[in-house]
Each structure stands twice: as structure tokens, then as C-alpha cells.
Amino acid sequence: MKRFHAFIMLLAIGSATFTGCMPGRNATKGILGGGTGVGGTVVKTVGTVVGLILLSKLIKSVLKTVTGSKSFESFAQNETFKNNFNEDTKLNSFAQNDFLKTALQVVVAQHYQIPLTTVVNNYTSLNTVGDLSTFIGQNASAKVLNEIK
């Protein structure tokens, strides 16, 4: 993690230096202003990379949570399922009936400390594991999110 932060800092310093060398250009405008300059693009790219890393960690956490649940224990032994589990995996591929959909909602609510009503009310808009992971990232308790590795 320290290497990642060091990389981000070097990238930010490098982009600040690069935009600062152009005549008549304000270095902070390109980096912090989010304009069309190089710095704005770098900040957006870094934000995207950080978002993808978090999404990847959340997807792994969802897989671990689902396969650790009694309702979905058959998937814990299924290597094909685990190897193909990604952000595009449809929720209805493993939560195939009303019982399993409800079980998934309860597991998500309990594990990520999200009110069950919030999960139930938003479940119909969640189609893929990526959607579910994003929802968890936006609604899970800060304590749980800090523990995801």
C-alpha cells in the first residue's frame, strides 16, 4: 500500500511539474481545477484507478461473503463459479429464486452493516456483481469498508 501511495504522489508531482513548465499556464489550475489540461486528466485517471482497485476489493469481498454463507455454500466448492466471478456476473446466476434473493439481501445487509430496508429497496436496480459492489461501497459502514483488504 505504501508503494501505491508513493506512486500516486510521484505521479501528482510529475504532472504538476509538467503543467508548470508551460508558459502562461497556472500549474494548480491543470491539476486541481479539473480543466482540459494534463493535470485534470491525471487526477481523473488516478481517481479511476483508485476506484477500480476499490471495486476489485469489494468484488473479492462479495465473493468471500457469498461463498461463506450457508445459503450459497454449494458455490464455495465450485471452482468454475469462483474463477468466473467478476463484475459482470449476473446476480440471478446464483440468486436464482426468491429464497436465494432474500438470502443474498440478508447476507449483504448483515455483513456490510447496511439497513435491510435499504438493501431490499435497492435490490431490483442491482443486476450484476459490479452493481452490488458499487452499492456496497456507497452504503456499507465505514468500519466494514476499512476492514476490506
> What digits encode the pLDDT tens for the residues 32-75?
444 444 444 444 444 444 455 577 888 888 888 888 888 888 88
**Four-point Cα dihedral 130, 132, 137, 141, nearest 10:** -160
pLDDT recorded at residue 113: 93
> What digits encode the pLDDT tens for the residues 104-130?
999 999 998 999 999 999 999 999 998
pLDDT recorded at residue 141: 87
Tell which residue, 109, 113, 110, has the closest CA to residue 121: 109
Q: What is the mean pLDDT of the chain?
A: 73
Q: Residue 76 above 90 pLDDT?
A: no
pLDDT above 90 coverage of the chain, percent: 21
Would the pTM of this model clear 0.75, i.e. be above it? no
String of DSSP letters for 17-62: HHHHTSTT--HHHHHHS--SSHHHHHHHHHHHHHHHHHHHHHHHHH
